[in-house]
Every structure is written in structure tokens, then in C-alpha cells.
Chain A
Amino acid sequence: MSAMIGLLIPLEGFPPGVNSFDSKPLFPELGPSWYWVNNHLIQAVIATVLVIGFWLWMAREQKVVPGKRQFFGELAYNLVRNSIARDILGHEYRRFLPYLLALFSFILVNNLFGEFFLFMFPTFSKIGYVWGLALCSWILYNGAGIHKYGLFTYLRKATLPEGVPVLLWPLIIPLEFLSNFIVRPVTLALRLFANLFAGHLVILVFVLGGTLLLESGQAFLVAAGGMSLIFSFAIFALELFVGFLQAYIFTVLTAQYVSSAVAEEH
């Protein structure tokens, strides 16, 4: 049983813990300086290729009256273009659309890898990748604000809302600074990371634990193991939803931050 599941899911030993998320170097014989080339890196690269391939395939040979392929592509494209970028950013959405499109599709594909049998691991439960995206978004929305208003005006607008009495300035300015420049990127990263980390952990508990229980040989524990495996399907379904939701939230919040950075009124 474990051998069969092992083919589909890279079992990492029990109990699952932080170690379950360790990357495996692909060329351990080359020494520690090559450890960074690991299975999760390959996974991220494959995700990149898939995303780029998907969009190029959807974008090629477009016609004014779309066919099935193009219709599907436009459906996906419009989710980001109309529901996220245009609704939040208004008439300036076109400039930020490529970023948001890349962000959403990259996160979504990597999240779905958590439920995809070859990988069975969401790339963004490795926090390094998450910090990278959060850093990009942080640079994007601050850059957009500075580009529009100049450094000083942007900082004033970002830290001091209109109409605050002077007496409250010592309170408001540090709070706003903390909120806009530190809490935003950190929450952005931690939300994505924690959701996928925890989700993957729950899946590991259900699947690995269920497998162990099935192999225990005691009737009651075998039954419990079967139940555990059956429940794991519900968890998988939930994780599919969470993966989509987190990709969406990360993108919407990035757009929201950009919008507030370039907004006329803070």
C-alpha cells in the first residue's frame, strides 16, 4: 500500500513536520555549493514554463471572434484584467496588468502543484519563494507611488492621512508607516505561506497517518486509517480551493496596495 502511494506521493516519513518541507538536492555529489539546485527549484521552473506556455498558447493566432481555445484564454485573462486590475486600479490598470497577470498565474499554478500527483507539494510552502513575491509587490506599489508623487510627497501621503489633527501626528505617522511599509508585505507573504504550509501539513497528516494506520494490522486502526484516507480527498478539494483563493487574494491585495499608493486621496 505504502509502495503504491509512494509512487504518487513523495512520502517523507512520519510524523510530518518542518522536515517534511525540506528540499532534496538533485546533485548531492557536487557538494553543498550545488544544494540550491533542488527538487522544489525544478518544480518552480516547470511552473514558470507552464505559465508562460499557457499564456503564449492562449495569445497566439487570436481572432476577433474567438474560438474555444481563445475563449477559455480570454476567460482566464479577463479574471485578472477586469475583475482585479480594472475594478481596483481604474483607468491606470493597463500599466500594472502584466504584473498582476504574471503574479496570479504563477501563484495559482504553484499552489495547484500541491494537489498535482507528480509534485504533491505547493512551491509557496517554501517561504523563500513567498518572500520573493512579497518583495516584488512591495517594490511595485512603493515604486508606483514614488513614480507618481516623488519620494517625499509619497512618504507624506502614505504616512499621514488627510485631516488628521496635529496632536495625533506622533501617533498616526508611526502607525501608518508600520502599516504601509512593514505590515503589508509581511502579511502578504505570511498569509500565502501559512495557508499552503498548513494545508500541506494537514494533507500529510491525513495521508501519511492513514497509510500508517492501514499498515498497523489492527482492525480498529485499519478502519480509522481508511477513514483518514477518505477524508484526505475532502482536504484535497479544500486545498484546491485554498490554492486558488490565496493566489487571488495575493493578486487583489497587491492591486489594492498599488491603488492606494497612486490614489489622489489617502
Chain B
Amino acid sequence: MLPLLTPLETGSEGGIGVLLPALPELLIGIVLFGIIWFVAAKKVVPMFEATYAERTAEIAGGIEKAEAAQKQAAEALATYTEQLSGARAEAGQIREEAKAQATAIAAEIRHQAQADSERMLASAKAAIEAERIAAMHQLRAEIGGLATELAGRIVGESLESEERAQRTVDRFIAELEAQPEVSA
């Protein structure tokens, strides 16, 4: 006969009794669980959470650092660009100034040269005029003499009176002067 077929022991408790707790088990279960809870609350969870917080902070810090570096780089680039454009503008300005200065200098030189030439021309003209006048006076005197001599030779002895002769010469000179000054 197999023990398989033995009926259940008559003494075994059944029914609702199965669901009733033994008091020691209940209390021990609560105490043991309470210990685990305590350790979890005081040690385990704070340690894990501290690590997590640190990790979060580190990641956030890394991102912040990267952002700061990026910002710095952008600022440096802006400064550099600004400086570059400033230098360019300055160079352009200097070039403009130089050009203007060169123009001014050239104009001044030209002006001075012109003034010089004008002055020289004027003084040359004045000298020429003075010489012309002097020559004319000299010529007039010489021509008067020559003419008188010529006329005396031509007329000969017909001229008795000194006075008359002088009048004739004067008339002649006046006529000469009345003519336009071709030689001037």
C-alpha cells in the first residue's frame, strides 16, 4: 500500500485557522522588516541618493563649464572681429588722409610754382619795359641828332636859323610819337 493513499491526519488544523497569524511570527516579521527599513532610510537610500545628486551636479557642472567656455570663445571672436574691423577702418582712414595730404601738397606746390612763374614773368616784363623805355629815350635822342644831321645834309645851308631847325625837329619827333609804337 502506498503512503500516497493515507488520509490526512485528523489532527491537522484547517479552514480559517490557516489564516490566523501566530503572534511571535507577526511581531518578529514586523521587527525584522523595521530593521531593514531603518537601515534603508538611514544608510542605503541616502548613500545612493548622494551619489545620484553628485552625478547630476557633475553633469550639470560639466554642461555649465562647456557653456562658459563657448561663451568665452564667442566673446574672444567678437573682440577679435571688432579689433580687425577697427584696424581696417583705421588703415582706410590713414590711407584717405595720406591721399588728401598728397593732394594738398601737390596743389600747394603747383600753386607756389605758378606764383613763382607769375612773379618771374612780371619782373621780366617790368625789366623789359624799363629797358624799352630807356632804349626809346636813347633812340629818341640819337634819332633826333641823326635826323638833324641828315636834314642838315639834305637841306644844306638852307637852314639859317637855329630856332627854326629846332622847331622842325620837334615837329618830326611828335609825328613819330603820334605813330603807333610798332617796335614796343
By a beta-carbon cutoff of 8 Å, the part of chain A in contact with chain B is 14-15, 17-19, 36, 40-41, 44-45, 47-48, 51-52, 55-56, 58-60, 62-64, 70, 73-74, 77, 81, 94, 97-99, 101-103, 105-106, 126-133, 135-136, 190, 193, 209, 212-213, 216
Query: Is A106 in contact with B4, judged by CB distance below 8 angstroms?
Result: no
- A131's nearest neighbour on chain B, judged by CB, is B21
For the side of the interface on B, what is the size category? 35 or more
A133 to B41, CA, bound (A): 17
Query: Is A19 in contact with B12, judged by CB distance below 8 angstroms?
Result: yes
> Are A51 and B13 also in contact (CB < 8 A) when A15-B4, A36-B24 are?
no
Shortest C-beta distance, A215 to chain B (Å), equals 10
Query: Is B39 in contact with A52, judged by CB distance below 8 angstroms?
Result: yes
Query: Is B29 in contact with A98, judged by CB distance below 8 angstroms?
Result: no
Query: Is A62 in contact with B47, judged by CB distance below 8 angstroms?
Result: yes
Contacts of B27 in A (CB 8 A): 132
Query: Is A98 in contact with B37, judged by CB distance below 8 angstroms?
Result: yes
Query: Is A127 in contact with B19, judged by CB distance below 8 angstroms?
Result: yes
Shortest C-beta distance, B34 to chain A (Å), equals 8
> Are A97 and B45 also in contact (CB < 8 A) when A18-B12, A102-B36, A212-B3 are?
yes
Contacts of A133 in B (CB 8 A): 29-30, 33
Query: Is A128 in contact with B8, judged by CB distance below 8 angstroms?
Result: no
> Are A128 and B58 also in contact (CB < 8 A) when A48-B32, A59-B44, A106-B33 are?
no
With A36-B24, A128-B29 already in contact, 14 other A-B pairs whose C-beta atoms are closer than 8 Å: A15-B8, A18-B12, A18-B14, A48-B35, A55-B44, A56-B44, A59-B44, A64-B58, A127-B20, A128-B22, A128-B26, A129-B25, A136-B33, A190-B19
Q: Check: B2 CB closer than 8 A to any chain A CB.
A: yes
